Structure 1
């Protein structure tokens, strides 16, 4: 093969490799409309998909532990602390007693709901009972709620006003102090 033909072939192959690399990079790179992960500088909080504060609670159908369908729209009317959790999540385990105590002492002011994203009704109910939880438990077995809420971290606690608007959120384990502040914010 003449030297000129070999050089032309090497140049063509080089351009093909560069073009393929650019094409692959464009395909795997996140687009502008992909979820943006935000890091929190607050202790106990971790990455979360975006800020839910000021937004309406996502519309989704959840399942009560008795099997009945519950729409998130039906949760309006009373301030709400909504906690997303599951039994094998270690921070979820640590915060359950905090949530249970707050729910018990604030039952007249604020509604508490736990949304379990992984466990069966039986496992969720038994597990939560072992930690003193007496508030309502709902299941999100298909991930409809967390998907439409763009929640990527668990535990996640949302403070929702009576109109169904998220007024605050905590990604990661919630402390008794922070939970108290959320409740105070909801009932002011």
Structure 2
């Protein structure tokens, strides 16, 4: 290889490394989408032990819900959709758990990119009594890196991530997770 090409490759590599480091080192507050989310990259994350990113979404009834309002409770933050067969399978388990739930536990079911009508009809059909939140543009699902649904984050009372579950849960699994 000639010295000229070696030099060009070396410069390209250095520029790439510098760009990667700049991207990963940013520590700013960023407002994202219409979901009312402010994420501080310094303090928040989705890995076990990280403080879960806060967000504000509307419930199917239009009432606003903020994740941080549930600090002091263990939270099942469940991402789902009405067309998803595993979501349909897990909802009765989640409802049974919710009806008998231990104190200081909450379920927040975040519907991803569907209409209020679809989510409300689904919640009525399955007689869901836990909060159903609307992530109409998928912003919150994107922040939580939800690529498969259902996906559930189990958050500790202090709002930190305890565990991430990809796939459906059942009632015994949920009971074990709150121990």
TM-score, shorter chain, exceeding 0.5: yes
The alpha-carbon deviation at position 51 of structure 1 amounts to: 6.3
Once residues 136 and 67 of structure 2 are traced to their aligned partners in structure 1, the CA distance between those partners, rounded to angstroms, is 15
Q: Which sections of structure 1, spanning at least 5 residues, go unmatched?
A: 1-30, 35-49
> 2:172 matched to 1:172?
no
| Residue from 52, 55, 64 that aligns with 2:47 | 52
Q: Give the structure with higher Rg (CA).
A: 1
> 2:98 matched to 1:118?
no
Contact between 1:60 and 1:144, CA under 8 Å: does it hold in 2?
no
* Partner of residue 78, structure 1: 73
State the TM-score, normalized to the length of structure 2.
Answer: 0.69
> 2:135 matched to 1:137?
no
* Partner of residue 65, structure 1: 60
CA offset digits 1:108-143 (Å, max 9, x no partner): 341111111122222212212222311111111121
Query: Relative to structure 1, is the Cα distance of residues 125 and 108 closer, same or farther in structure 2, using a 3 angstrom cutoff?
Result: farther
Q: Which sections of structure 2, spanning at least 5 residues, go unmatched?
A: 1-19, 25-44
Query: Relative to structure 1, is the Cα distance of residues 116 and 88 closer, same or farther in structure 2, using a 3 angstrom cutoff?
Result: same
Query: Relative to structure 1, is the Cα distance of residues 136 and 107 closer, same or farther in structure 2, using a 3 angstrom cutoff?
Result: farther
Contact between 2:79 and 2:152, CA under 8 Å: does it hold in 1?
yes
| Count of residues paired in the alignment | 142
Q: Which of structure 1's runs of 4+ aligned residues deviate more than 4 A? A: 31-34
